[in-house]
């Protein structure tokens, strides 16, 4: 299925990925293959999804891009405020901030080397 294809050639033509996750206004964080794809392609990303999606990724061992971009959008409970904040970040990307390759490599290794079936369910704290 198309959900299992990583369009690496498309990612190679971009500097950042904007991930529109399946759910965006639930009372729990829900991540899908949509975020896995830019990680597999070693691309930096922004997420339009549930509030605290980046916090959940960090709790799973991934690194995000705080300090390179403003990630405060991720904690905004209101979807429309979150989208406005992401648009502001996108507008600021015109200066093409450089993402250290070691972050992208780290995220790839976490994604590919973690046994996701037996992972500790400590991330359940993100269910509210």
pLDDT tens, 82-124? 999 999 999 988 777 789 999 999 999 999 999 887 775 555 5
The residue ranking higher by pLDDT, 106 or 15, is 106
pLDDT at 55: 93
What token pair was written down for 75?
């904690």
Each residue of 53-85: pLDDT tens digit? 999 999 999 999 999 999 999 999 999 999 999
Predicted TM-score (pTM) of this structure: 0.86
What does the alpha-carbon distance between residue 53 and residue 80 come to, in Å, rounded to a whole number? 16
The residue ranking higher by pLDDT, 80 or 10, is 80
Using a pLDDT cut of 90, give the percent of the chain over it.
Answer: 62
pLDDT at 97: 74
Which of 22-26, 48-52, 61-65 comes out lowest in average pLDDT? 22-26
3-state helix, strand, coil in the chain (%, to 5): 50, 10, 45
- State the CB neighbour count (10 A cutoff) for residue 13: 7
How far is C-alpha 104 from the geometric centre of its chain's CA atoms?
12
What does the alpha-carbon distance between residue 125 and residue 128 come to, in Å, rounded to a whole number? 7
Give CA torsion, residues 59, 111, 95, 55, to 10 deg.
-10
Give the model's confidence band at 6: pLDDT under 50 very low, under 70 low, under 90 confident, else very high. Answer: confident
pLDDT at 121: 59
């Amino acid at each position: 299925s198309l959900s299992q294809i990583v369009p690496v050639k498309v990612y190679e033509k971009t500097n950042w990925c904007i991930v529109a996750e399946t759910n965006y206004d639930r009372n729990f964080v829900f991540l899908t293959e949509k975020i896995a794809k830019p990680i597999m392609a070693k691309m930096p990303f922004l997420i339009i999804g549930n509030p605290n999606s980046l916090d959940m990724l960090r709790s799973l061992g991934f690194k995000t891009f705080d300090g390179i971009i403003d990630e405060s959008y991720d904690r905004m409970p209101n979807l429309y405020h979150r989208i406005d904040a992401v648009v502001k970040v996108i507008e600021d990307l015109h200066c093409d901030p450089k993402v250290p390759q070691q972050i992208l490599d780290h995220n790839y290794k976490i994604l590919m080397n973690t046994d996701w079936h037996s992972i500790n369910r400590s991330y359940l704290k993100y269910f509210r």
